[in-house]
Amino acid sequence: MHAVLLDKAHHAIKEKLPERGNDHRLGFHLSPPVGWMNDPNGLVYFRGEYHVFYQHHPYSPQWGPMHWGHAKSHDLVHWEHLPIALAPSDPYDRDGCFSGSAVVVDDTLYLIYTGHVWLGSPRDDNHIQQVQCLASSTDGITFTKHGVIIDAPPEPEIMHFRDPKVWKRGEQWWMALGARKGDDPQLLIYRSVDLYHWEYLSCALQGVRESDGYMWECPDLFELDGSDVFLYSPQGLKPSGYANWNKFQNSYRLGKLDDSGHFNPNAALHELDHGHDFYAAQTLLAPDGRRLLWAWMDMWDCPMPSQAQHWCGALSLPRELSLEGDRLRMRPARELTALRKSQHGLQIPVVESASRPLDVRGALLEIEIELDLAGSTAEHFGLALRCSEDQHERTLLYFDAMARRLVLDRQHSGAGVSGVRSVPISPEQTRIALRIFLDRSSIEVFVDDGAYTMTSRIYPRPDSLGISAFAVNGTGVFGDLEAWELTDLKI
């Protein structure tokens, strides 16, 4: 049955491909050929290549019964779409093969995922069954299901119980699971010697609804620079000040995971990315020791104009993680410089309460520039990106001197989207270094060598390609701008 349903899904993709619209199609980000994409799953390095799996509904650009889409790359830049790896086909996963992870054992690739079943009709999140499942492949393409490996949560009050992240700790396999007990979130830990038989170790961390949300999705636990990092996606956090304004967040805490399976936090909760569209981040330990991260570059209940063109969803660019104090730093994977084509170098004159078009245009660009805070007097100054000729479409990235914040404003960024996000700039800081990646329907901003990032989807018209420097009520001083046109890989 599994093979039959995979063939059916592949046929549906082949039928829809000629109808796919490409106005917003990303040039160098991983997106589904057609249909829906959300969470990255199963990030793994197997036989000399990086493999990325993802939540996928091949039959429509709306969320539906989840399959596992699959792509691979030898260099983190050029991606090849592979056949769908998993389809919901059995009684334990008939309504979805939800998120999970991948590991390699003795040259065999294993997928560990959540099998999802709706128990009532119409579907209701309060009446579900979730179990953890195993599949394997010897060629990295065709997967055999081995059924359920954890058939019930440790307590009957737990119903939501998903997104297994598996890693090797010593001589044993460990698994982190997100759970919801009543309206409180939990991080659960299991342990195994063979991936097939698992013992429940402990509730590693218990949250409370009022301060921690009601569910911790897509947990990831890893060691980085001498600390353990608990990376997760809390649902139900309330906005507070400038924080938590997306429907759901992507967050992390530092601490120590002990041998009994308890996680002891020793630092505050932090948002991972401060843009509009970033969720369900997962990491991979690369062969050279780097910790790489991808996230879903969209957000629930947000406008998704590409659905009208038979596809929806994308993953962020791969990022390298490092730890400085109690904060994660994210930089673009170094391999991404291979995307660069022609280079433009510009000296931007001082801008006095005006907007100046710059001699660089494009939909696929990388830009590096510094904002000189000490030399500027403007209330706001920065860049307007993906501008239309009449300036009705534009995405603004600027320093707000009164709030001391760097602001990403997509109030006029094209079809459907809106909203403003920002990150703090300390009173002592005199310059802001920016590295910006523009794709046809996305912007990723790396601030001060990755101390902060802002990731958002934008949907300007294809001919909205201009860039301007601007200042409001005063002088804006800019460092030299370097820009590269980037290769359109048509992934």
The residues annotated with a catalytic role in the active site are: 39
Pairwise CA distance, residues 41 & 112, whole Å? 10
3-state class (DSSP) for residue 155: coil
Location of structure tokens 């981040």: 281
**Beta strand 380-387 pairing with 128-137:** unpaired
Kindly list the distances between the CA atom of residue 69 and the CA atoms of 15, 83, 93, 139, in Å, as whole numbers in the listed order: 17, 7, 16, 16
CB neighbours of 94 closer than 8 A, spacing ≥ 6?
88, 117
Pairwise CA distance, residues 186 & 207, whole Å? 6
Kindly list the distances between the CA atom of residue 490 and the CA atoms of 199, 295, 418, in Å, as whole numbers in the listed order: 45, 20, 26
Helices (H) and strands (E) in the chain, counts: 2, 36
> Of the candidates 473, 485, 472, which has an alpha carbon nearest to the alpha carbon of residue 437?
485
Pairwise CA distance, residues 334 & 320, whole Å? 8
> Of the candidates 311, 304, 313, which has an alpha carbon nearest to the alpha carbon of residue 415?
304
CA dihedral 302, 303, 309, 313 (to 10 degrees): -30
Scored b (16 or more CB within 10 A) or e, 283-303 reads bbbbeeebbbbbbbbbbeebe
Contact (CB, 8 A) for 382 and 370: no
DSSP character at residue 354: S
Element (H, E) at 284: strand 279-285
Sign of CA dihedral 483, 484, 489, 490: positive
> Of the candidates 284, 224, 222, 231, which has an alpha carbon nearest to the alpha carbon of residue 44?
284
Pairwise CA distance, residues 274 & 371, whole Å? 19
Pairwise CA distance, residues 313 & 37, whole Å? 5
Pairwise CA distance, residues 491 & 31, whole Å? 7
> Of the candidates 59, 77, 170, which has an alpha carbon nearest to the alpha carbon of residue 366?
77
200 forms beta bridges with 190
Residue type, 124: D
Cα of first residue to Cα of last residue in the chain, in angstroms, is 30
DSSP character at residue 251: E
